[in-house]
């Protein structure tokens, strides 16, 4: 069965939750016998990246322009045409923006699976016109895709209540259980000591809340712990510039985008993981922190509340004082690893669930 994937910037080693999702899922589907072609965005691929395949997944770079309002639309339109030309059995569309082209794909005779990763129109970076089209993408994807996958109960309830789609398939984001070890050579090059820093990561966009995390951490007026933020901006917008300036003023360590062994060491040696987001679908970064048995402190948005955590370590979203007080309480205690139930976030189980949907759709 030939699966063609769009709605992602690309793989491997590209920043983003959907990108991590695709990097983990599709090589596993190849091992099950699926023929997977993933269509990457030309503006997101480094010039020296000439990869044609990644762990059995065929990689094709499709042209688009690096402009927030047009990048996704142009790439998805060309991807749908590419999928029709190359006679894909199923077109897999990720996210509500690319889902705007679902009716077009169906008109061309393609079978479509739409994965809803979250209501992106709630992100602060979008203006009124962009939000309108993102909402329209959610509507078109939910109503016209042959099958809809949702990554959380919150999103499943959303598509039921807004669009009366009662047959969506709940398949969580996943995480690979790491090897816990004591390596710390990389973090030492950053001037960090094991268990002496608070860690978070993500894109430098408003809805991640990194600015008020920096201010809340600074309110502690302590010298024992550092704050470390991994990640960067896809587009150098004013918020990202202001965040970098604020981090420099408050002596916060920004590592840039990291993957592999470097990211592993940052998770492995952290004292506490914090996610102050205003908006999430089901954050892979949080699942990764839990897989490393880290204590976590998260904002009280619905996407976070659905993940059952010991002692409900939640703070009021966007409330600097609430975050400061919770940080203070968390850092009072000695580090103690936490055993979370990660069984429903297993990528191998998620792969089998996805394969079942593809197989069911092919028979229709």
User: What does the pLDDT read at residue 69?
Assistant: 74
As given in the structure block, the two tokens for residue 302 are 């619905």
Mean pLDDT of 64-80: 91
Separation of alpha carbons 116 and 136, rounded Å:
13
pLDDT band at 124 (very low <50, low <70, confident <90, very high): confident
- DSSP character for 220? T
Q: What is the distance of C-alpha 362 from the center of its chain?
A: 28
Is 105 within 8 Å of 77 (Cβ atoms)?
Answer: no
Does residue 114 register a pLDDT over 70? yes
Q: Which CATH number fits domain 185-342: 3.30.200.20, 3.40.190.170, 3.40.50.10680, 3.40.50.2000?
A: 3.40.50.2000
Residue of higher predicted confidence among 305 and 244: 244
User: What does the pLDDT read at residue 308?
Assistant: 66
User: What does the pLDDT read at residue 307?
Assistant: 83
User: What does the pLDDT read at residue 310?
Assistant: 64
pLDDT band at 48 (very low <50, low <70, confident <90, very high): confident
User: What does the pLDDT read at residue 363?
Assistant: 77
User: What does the pLDDT read at residue 179?
Assistant: 81
Lowest mean pLDDT among 77-91, 229-243, 281-295: 229-243
In the chain, how long is the greatest CA-to-CA distance? 62
Separation of alpha carbons 5 and 90, rounded Å:
9
Separation of alpha carbons 223 and 164, rounded Å:
53
Q: What is the pLDDT of residues 224-235, one digit of tens each?
A: 999 999 999 876
User: What does the pLDDT read at residue 143?
Assistant: 97
- Rounded to whole angstroms, what are the CA distances from 183 to 192, 211, 268, 291? 13, 30, 8, 17
Q: What is the pLDDT of residues 220-272, one digit of tens each?
A: 999 999 999 999 987 678 899 999 999 999 999 999 999 999 999 999 999 99
Does residue 125 register a pLDDT over 80? no
Cβ neighbour number for residue 259 with a 10 Å cutoff? 14
User: What does the pLDDT read at residue 33?
Assistant: 96
User: What does the pLDDT read at residue 233?
Assistant: 84
DSSP 3-state assignment of 78? helix
Run of H or E residues at 176? none
User: What does the pLDDT read at residue 276?
Assistant: 96
Separation of alpha carbons 175 and 339, rounded Å:
15
* Mean pLDDT, the chain, integer: 93
Mean pLDDT of 3-16: 94
Cβ neighbour number for residue 14 with a 10 Å cutoff? 22
Separation of alpha carbons 219 and 212, rounded Å:
10
- CATH class of this structure's domain 2-174+346-363: alpha beta
User: What does the pLDDT read at residue 312?
Assistant: 60
Is 252 within 8 Å of 214 (Cβ atoms)?
Answer: yes
Residue of higher predicted confidence among 362 and 251: 251
Is 109 within 8 Å of 84 (Cβ atoms)?
Answer: yes
Domain map (residue ranges) of the chain: 2-174+346-363, 185-342
- Phi then psi dihedrals of residue 274, to 5 deg: -120, 135
DSSP 3-state assignment of 300? coil
Separation of alpha carbons 43 and 75, rounded Å:
10
For 100, residues 6+ apart whose C-beta sits below 8 A from its C-beta are: 73, 76, 133, 136, 137, 140, 141
């Amino acid at each position: 069965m030939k699966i063609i994937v769009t709605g992602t910037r690309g793989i491997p080693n590209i920043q983003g939750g959907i990108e991590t999702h695709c990097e983990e899922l599709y090589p596993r589907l190849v091992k099950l016998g699926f023929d997977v072609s993933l269509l990457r965005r030309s503006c997101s691929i480094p010039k020296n990246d000439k990869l044609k395949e990644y762990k059995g997944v065929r990689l094709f770079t499709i042209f688009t322009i690096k402009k927030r309002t047009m990048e996704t639309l142009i790439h998805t339109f060309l991807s749908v045409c590419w999928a029709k030309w190359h006679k894909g059995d199923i077109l897999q569309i990720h996210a509500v923006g690319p889902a705007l082209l679902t009716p077009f794909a169906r008109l061309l005779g393609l079978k479509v699976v739409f994965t809803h990763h979250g209501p992106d129109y709630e992100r602060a970076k979008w203006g009124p016109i962009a939000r309108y089209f993102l909402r329209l993408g959610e509507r078109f994807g939910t109503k016209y895709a042959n099958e809809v996958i949702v990554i959380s109960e919150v999103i499943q309830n959303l598509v039921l209540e807004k669009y009366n789609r009662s047959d969506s398939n709940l398949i969580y984001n996943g995480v690979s259980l790491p090897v816990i070890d004591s390596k710390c050579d990389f973090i030492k090059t950053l001037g960090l000591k094991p268990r002496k820093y608070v860690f978070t990561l993500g894109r430098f966009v408003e809805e991640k809340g990194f600015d008020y995390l920096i201010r809340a951490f600074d309110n502690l007026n302590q010298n024992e712990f550092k704050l470390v933020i991994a990640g960067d901006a896809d587009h150098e917008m004013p918020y990202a510039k202001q965040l970098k300036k604020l981090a420099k003023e408050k002596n916060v360590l920004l590592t840039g985008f990291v993957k592999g062994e470097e990211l592993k060491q940052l998770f492995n040696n952290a004292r506490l993981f914090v996610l102050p987001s205003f908006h999430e679908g089901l954050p892979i970064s949080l699942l990764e922190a839990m897989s490393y048995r880290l204590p976590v402190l998260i904002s009280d948005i619905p996407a976070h509340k659905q993940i059952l955590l010991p002692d409900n370590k939640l703070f009021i979203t966007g409330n600097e004082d609430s975050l400061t007080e919770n940080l203070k309480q968390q850092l009072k205690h000695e580090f103690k690893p936490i055993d979370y139930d990660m069984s429903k976030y297993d990528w191998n189980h998620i792969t089998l669930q996805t394969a079942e949907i593809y197989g069911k759709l092919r028979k229709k």
